[in-house]
Chains A and B, each alone.
Chain A
Amino acid sequence: MLVRLIGLAWRNLWRNPRRTWLTVSAIAFAVLFLVFGRSMQTGSFDTMIDNGARILLGHLQVQHVKYSADPRVDYTINAAPILEYFSSRAEIEYASARTQGFALVSMGERSFGAQIVGVEADIERHWSRIASMVSLGRYLQGRGEAVIGARLARNLGLQVGDELIILGTAKEGGIAASSVTLVGVFNTAQTQLDRSLVQIHIDDFREAWMLGNDEAHAVVVMASNVTRSEAEASLATTQLESVAVLAWLDLMPEAQQMRDMKAVSTQLIFYVIVIIVGFSVVTTFMMMVFERTQELGVLIAIGMKPGLLQVQLQLEALFLAMLGVVIGFIVALLLIVWLEETGIPLPVQADEIFARYNMGSRIYPSFDWPALQTSSVLMFVGVQLAALIPGLRIQRLRPVEAIRRQA
Chain B
Amino acid sequence: MSEVVVECTGLTRTYDQDSVPVYALRGVDVSIMQGDFVSLSGPSGSGKSTLLNIIGGLDRPDSGEVVVSGTRLGTLSESALAELRLHKIGFVFQAFNLIPVLSAQENVEFILQLQGVASAPRRARSTAVLDSLGLSQMSHRRPGELSGGQQQRVAIARAIVTNPALLLADEPTANIDSATTEELLLLLQKLNREQGMTIVTATHDPMVMGYTTRKIKLHDGMIEEDETAVVV
Contact = CB atoms under 8 A, between A and B. Distances in A.
A304 B99 contact: no
A299 B85 contact: no
Interface in A69-107: none
B58 A399 contact: yes
Contact of B58 (A14, A299, A403): A403
A123 B91 CA distance: 85
Nearest to A303: B86
A302 B91 contact: yes
B75 interface: no
A300, A301, A302, A306, most chain B CB atoms within 10 A? A302
B100 interface: yes
Interface residues of A, number: 27
Interface stretch (B106-114, B145-153, B177-185, B211-219): B106-114
A1 interface: yes
DSSP class of A's interface residues: helix, strand, loop or mixed? helix
B58 A4 contact: no
B93 A298 contact: yes
Instruction: Name the interface size band of chain B.
Output: 20 to 34
Contacts of B57: 399
A8 B101 contact: yes
Interface stretch (B76-84, B133-141, B190-198, B223-231): B76-84
Contact of A398 (B58, B99, B110): B58
Contact of A301 (B58, B60, B113, B115): B58
B48 interface: no
Interface in A282-333: 294-295, 298-308
Nearest to A309: B82
Given A302-B158, A303-B85, A400 B101 contact: no
Nearest to B77: A306
Given A303-B87, A398-B78, A403-B93, 4 more contacts: A298-B93, A303-B86, A303-B115, A400-B58
9 contacts: A11-B101, A12-B101, A299-B99, A301-B58, A301-B85, A303-B115, A395-B78, A403-B93, A407-B95
